[in-house]
Amino acid sequence: MAEQPVFLSDDVVARFLSYDELILRLEEVLGQFSREDSSEVVQPVRSVMPIHNHNGYLGLMPAYIAHEDTLCTKMVAFYRRKGNLPSTQATVLLFNPEYGNVKAVMDGLDITHKRTAAVSAISAKLLMPAQSDVLCILGCGHQAVSHYEIFTRLFSFKEVRVCSRTLETAERFAARVRGPVKVFTSAEEAVRGADLIITVTNSSEPVLFGEWVKPGAHVAAVGACRPDWRELDDVLMRDAVIYVDTREGAAVESGDIILSGAEVFAELGEVLNGTQPALRNKTTVFKSLGKIFSVKYRQN
Ligand SMILES: NC(=O)C1=CN([C@@H]2O[C@H](COP(=O)(O)OP(=O)(O)OC[C@H]3O[C@@H](n4cnc5c(N)ncnc54)[C@H](O)[C@@H]3O)[C@@H](O)[C@H]2O)C=CC1
Ligand SMILES: O=C(O)C1=NCCCC1
């Protein structure tokens, strides 16, 4: 009989999940996913079901990595709401691929925060201007914290600016993170002159406008993961070179891409594989939707 699954709580997961390991692992998996001849990383576009009564969605995100025989799925509930309830909750199941039984059930919140930030950091490594002094973060929730952690660890900025829907959330963020942050009340002022801009809001309307963006800047756009939600305006989507995590996902899930009619230039994995260029000198947008996901769990 199969053993009972283990349960890993969020603090246990957090203890074992390092940004450095995540970056290496995600670069490998992004590249494998984008190889044309490869069926090594199987990851269908997630199925998303509305949770009507609560203004939310439940997404199912299965993944199989054949050469490692790793089978897992994330289940993520995400909401568009104001107030103190969380925007995202996630659970990860790790299977025994041979029998189909569940080996581990993990709280997926820390995985979601860190994995998403790590993929944005990979996009910045590839696409941000060689001289990037000013980082601007729009939105000051959970993703803002993980993005701040990894970006300030990997890169050296002279200035980090933040702006959120309310001054209170931005100030709370500034008090929570370790390191200097400049709080802005105007998104436009925060964005103008920034070399790297991260949008991590739960807004469904544009929060970042092309007119404000310095030519050559890189934008990592993390929110707006529904086909009718936006974070970026048409001007930015028209003027920038657009990179994504997966083309199929972008075509059905990204309001910024679908509603602006912007063309996707490349997947990050294609850049990592050297089959598409990293156009660092142009204004670039990485539209993140949150796929490319795999978990290994070593029991010892
Ligand atoms: N691409 C991906 O892989 C992932 C995307 N997400 C998405 O990222 C977004 C952020 O997630 P969390 O940080 O967990 O949410 P959160 O609820 O913790 O934070 C959202 C922040 O956005 C701010 N905000 C809302 N409207 C704004 C506006 N118009 N201007 C400036 N700030 C505004 C809020 O004040 C809050 O600080 C959500 O849309 C979520 O669905 C989350 C996980 C993975
Ligand atoms: O990949 C994820 O995790 C999420 N993607 C989009 C929205 C919330 C969570």
Task: Give the whole-angstrom CA distance, residue 106 versus residue 295.
Answer: 10
Pairing state of beta strands 182-183 and 159-163? parallel
> pLDDT at position 205, please?
97
The answer to whether 255 touches 221, Cβ cutoff 8 Å, is no
Task: Give the whole-angstrom CA distance, residue 132 versus residue 129.
Answer: 6
Name the closest-CA residue to atom 22, ligand 1. 201
DSSP 104-164: EEEE-HHHHHHHHHHHHHHHHHHHS-SS--EEEEE--SHHHHHHHHHHHHHS--SEEEEE-
> pLDDT at position 218, please?
98
pTM of the predicted model as reported, rounded to 2 decimal places: 0.96
Predicted confidence band of residue 97 (pLDDT cuts 50, 70, 90) = very high
The answer to whether 26 touches 288, Cβ cutoff 8 Å, is no
Closest CA to 31 of 108, 150, 122, 111: 122
The answer to whether 82 touches 70, Cβ cutoff 8 Å, is no
Tokens describing residue 236: 């930015």
Is residue 262 pLDDT above 70, yes or no?
Answer: yes
Which ligand is nearest the CA of 90, by number? 2
Task: Give the whole-angstrom CA distance, residue 236 versus residue 231.
Answer: 10
Which ligand is nearest the CA of 48, by number? 2
Compute the distance from residue 18 Cα to the ligand 2 centre, in Å: 19
Q: How far is CA 180 from CA 108, 149, 190, 201, in A?
A: 29, 12, 15, 21
Cα atoms in the Cβ-side hemisphere of radius 13 Å centred on 242: 24
**Ligand 1-lining residues (CB < 6 angstroms):** 78, 87-88, 112, 116, 138-144, 164-165, 169, 200-203, 207, 222-223, 225, 288-290
Name the closest-CA residue to atom 8, ligand 2. 78
Name the closest-CA residue to atom 11, ligand 1. 143
Task: Give the whole-angstrom CA distance, residue 79 versus residue 87.
Answer: 5
Compute the distance from residue 1 Cα to the ligand 2 centre, in Å: 34
Question: Which atom of ligand 2 is nearest to 74's Cα?
Answer: 3
pLDDT per residue over 141-195, tens digit each?
999 999 999 999 999 999 999 999 999 999 999 999 988 999 999 999 999 999 9
The reply to whether ligand 2 has any atom less than 6 angstroms from the CB of 88 is yes
Closest CA to 193 of 230, 161, 167: 161
Q: In what helix (H) or strand (E) does residue 10 lie, and over which residues does it extend?
A: helix 10-16
Task: Give the whole-angstrom CA distance, residue 111 versus residue 18.
Answer: 10
The region of weakest confidence among 32-36, 52-56, 154-158 is 32-36
- Residue with the bigger pLDDT between 17 and 297: it is 17
Question: Which residue is it, tokens 């107030």?
Answer: 83
The reply to whether ligand 2 has any atom less than 6 angstroms from the CB of 134 is no
